[in-house]
Amino acid sequence: MSYPDEIDRFIPKLNRRRDYPPYIVQEVIEPINGIAEVYLAHDDIPPESIEVWTGPDRTGEKVVTYTISTPPETPWQTFLRVIHPTTVYVIYETPGDRVEAEDINRLQDSIVATQKELEKTKLIQVSTYTHNQIVPLSVWTITHNLKKYPCVTVVDSSGSVVVGDVKYLSENELQVSFSGAFAGKAYLN
């Protein structure tokens, strides 16, 4: 599972409704080589409410070649195995979902991964430096502390771009040599 393709995809949870009619849910299932084995997306599904059809909204043919089971460690979940060569539509009732520790853990993992991606973006955004060369010189020594070998654009005091030879002394320092002395700015990114 690599971020962000899988970690942050969540199935919306349905609020529990004890004193109201159950939710009616339809899931689209794509068999692979004529077999689909999936956990249905919602919890506490009465087995007698499950119907499998070849078309949406109870259209097409009713499929009867399927089995359901309930894992002993998570008895609120329903595992469905359908044998059919094409897409099927599973319709069922549910009173709503339970929030499991696994749901919370996946959410926490997603938040951490998002924070890491944001930190990378921050590093990219703050990885610029502007050097002001006030004293006219033909060799500018620039300490930028960017921890990289940045691109350099130099302009003179009138704003015209000036081409020079860039020599990287380290990841944090460089020199730019010109044919003559002048003052201006160097933009590093």
- Answer yes or no: is 173 within a domain: yes
Domain that holds residue 152: 129-188
Amino acid at 36: A
- Answer yes or no: is 170 within a domain: yes
The predicted structure's pLDDT at residue 7 = 55
Long-range Cβ pairs for the range 126-131 (8 Å, 24+): 127/189, 128/187, 128/188, 128/189, 129/187, 129/188, 129/189, 130/185, 130/186, 130/187, 130/188, 131/185, 131/186, 131/187, 131/188
**Torsion (CA) 13, 39, 64, 50 in degrees, nearest 10:** -30
The predicted structure's pLDDT at residue 126 = 62
Structure tokens at 70: 């309930």
The predicted structure's pLDDT at residue 9 = 67
DSSP β-ladder status, 152-156 and 161-162: antiparallel
Q: How many C-beta neighbours within 10 Å does residue 140 have?
A: 23
93 with 133, same domain: the answer is: no
The predicted structure's pLDDT at residue 8 = 67
133 with 72, same domain: the answer is: no
81 with 145, same domain: the answer is: no
- Answer yes or no: is 18 within a domain: no
Q: How confident is the model at residue 125 (pLDDT cuts 50, 70, 90)?
A: low
- Answer yes or no: is 105 within a domain: no
- φ/ψ of 122, rounded to 5, equals -60, -45
- Answer yes or no: is 13 within a domain: no
Is residue 1 over pLDDT 50? no
Query: In sequence order, which residues have a C-beta less than 8 Å from that of residue 141 and are 6 or more positions away?
Result: 169, 173, 174, 175
Predicted TM-score of the model (pTM): 0.56
- Answer yes or no: is 112 within a domain: no
C-alpha to C-alpha distances, 114 to 80, 111, 119, nearest whole angstrom: 33, 5, 9
Q: For residue 59, what is the domain's CATH number? A: 2.60.40
Residue at a domain's end among 74, 97, 120: 97
Is residue 32 over pLDDT 90? yes
Domain count along the chain: 2
